[in-house]
Structure 1
Amino acid sequence: MSWIYLDNNATTKIAPEVLDVMLPFLQESYGNASSVQHRIGRDANQAVVWARQQVAQRFQVKESEIFFNSGATEGINMVLRGIAYAYARKGKHIITCQTEHKAVLATCAQLERAGIEITYLPVDHNGAIDLQLLQDSIRPDTILVCIMAANNETGVVHPISAIAQICQEEDVLFFCDATQLVGKQDINLQQIPIDILTFSAHKFHGPKGVGALYVRRKRKPIQIPPLISGGQQENGFRGGTLNVPSIVGCGKALEIAGAHPETRHYRDDLEKQIKQLIPEVIIHGEQALRLDNTSFIAFRHIKAAEIMTSLPNIALSSGSACTSGLLDPSHVLKAMAVSDEDAFSSIRISLSKYTTAADIQQTMDSLVDVVQKLRSSSPIWQLFNKGVL
């Protein structure tokens, strides 16, 4: 049986075109991009300039608004901590959402201990926020709204254009973790007034350990002190020698990224077959707008861990890779009022442009077989069938 990879919301295979443009900066043009006194350094510097242009063009923004870093987790920490510090005189209130990535929630928890008040917006059973509640939650001392573009577990897409409009009207900064949306859908930042945005290249077939932060140039500049102090790299925004090969790979990956209609077709076909062939399943966020590649499914009355162990040749996950070691149920599903039992029964399937129809069919056949076998020997399933549960 061939290997099938369906955990693309955790990370993706690097695209061959991306690897090709990276290799020269690992082997021949290996200079420090700050060493512009000689040719090999200038070559590296020019490569970073070109990558920045690629990213800026994709978002329709100025090159001076793009800052390379190690990825979204660093960007999240820099923005949340930096805004809380720089805007303390204006206020100490931040608004976020209960289903944000753990990088946001963990940082917010630390800020709370430092005296920052955090409002965590709830979501409905489909994972959607209430825009009116968001607007009502903004106060004179609110300094930042931090809401992701698309959820990494369920794929539920938030209305970032409407959120940005609300924040603009209320004169509050809007920070968007767009890690899961970038590379799958276009974001035109000329049209959507997001103030700050972050992403990671490895989510769209780029290298790991690199991403970028977009900070809008405004009449009154946004104040974000650097998280990593050092030299004047990235215009003093982030110290440290630039990771030229990865930055080049990031630019190329974003340049070639885009929507793939067949991904939505494969995902929908998989869900349709699962609902037809496997009883007692729940597709989380099914009624909401979701990423085309994501399906988070509860196979009720059976543990997700048992299913995945029984499918060693198929890479699946039980939710966010950043929380896979935790014994608690998914905080995203809990916020959506999903029971602990159903949360522990849930498997995330996330596709990529490299996923094939054969991958989907083999996965479907394997899931039907494994779920039937596991349920046939499950006392809980037997009790459910007898109407005891």
Structure 2
Amino acid sequence: MTAQPRIHGRYRVDERLGATRIATVYRAYDDKLNRPVLLNLMRSHLVDQRGIRERFISDSELRARNVHSALPEVYDSGTIEDRPFFITEFVTGKTLRARAPVTPIEALQYTRHIVAVIKACQESHIPHPPISSNDFVVISEGHVKWIENWTLTPNEVLIDIASYRSPERQQGTAETVESAIYAVGILLFEILGGFRPFSGTNADEILTQHESSDIPPVSAVVSAGCPPEIDDLIMRCTARNPLNRLKNLDELLDMIEQARRDIVIGGNGTGPLGDQQAPTTTQHTPHAGTQPRKRRQGNRTLGRVLISLLVLGGLGAGGWYYVSSQPAQSGGLLSGMQLSMPSFSLPSWLTGLFSDSDGSAQYLLVSGDAALELHSEPASNGTVVGSVPAGSRVEWVDGPQSADGTAWLKIRYTVDTTIVEGWAPQRSLTTTP
């Protein structure tokens, strides 16, 4: 019987679990400490892209600081056949999206924990993780753990990002505390009502709604209503003008705590809200993943089934470096750090295990009837560097990035020996069958 491969003589590699935008993920076991772990191995087609490689390594070093218990622990790192990797913890549970709707008190407890994570990252000068119900898993009452949800398709990833993006981000504004507070308000709305305030079939539809429409009160879209304290809290978080939002995370934490106390005293926060109805402010057909969910009491059987999710410390399409618009700030923080990691080679009989040819790159199709122009940068006024015929299959290389009110993706088109690479609007691309 062939022995299972081990990394550093201690991590037994069991199986390939899936892949995010940057890493292929393997279930492994730490023989030394007797615990399950994850091997996060940089995808082979990205190894030669220096910027992404350095971000991958830098990210593991930043996360190893363990600034908050809700962030995944990084146990070890190195390289395999010149491919960077790191070892992270393994977490099982249900995402907030799967748990919703929850009671007002539960919603405030989870939200308070998430805000504490963002605050810890801010104080440590580390980009905070993406704010999404798909990226936080419930590990105990009132406590969550950040995960990278690798089950989403590329289109679902873009929709997920757009669902929490503040209006000013669409105008090219960098990530700020105010935009993070906006996303927290959207998340609170969602886990209370069981659905997001805006929905659509693609990211641009959702982004347009965030720019043009106010977030409806939760009490207006659930039959049993909602404590006024939570309506006020969400309104203060999600004002379209950032000047009208709460100014900092301490104010947000104070308002969460005050709302929790008022609800406890009033005795109206222990049960889930009534049957939900979709907001009437949107004219788009809801995406399948954003339909209102039934009350938790009606989903007890499904609720008993725990969805196993993996902690992928900042590795995916919605990962920190792809979502954060502060790469320059992160680069400044890391400019003096040595990006060195221990390296070793695998015996030839093991290298087949680490092949990600069955899903390494992610591909999209050029939609419409006309050729798609590629730009040198994510902007409509960028230099046109080439074009791709309609219906062509292209590789998703980077992004999304927001500019001109549009989500842009960097793609690569290969025909014969010619390679063309550039930025294109996400709305012009669709997922492959």
TM-score by length of 1: 0.25
The one of the two structures with greater contact order (alpha-carbon pairs below 8 A, sep at least 6) is 1
Question: Greater share of helix residues, 1 or 2?
Answer: 1
Question: Greater share of strand residues, 1 or 2?
Answer: 2
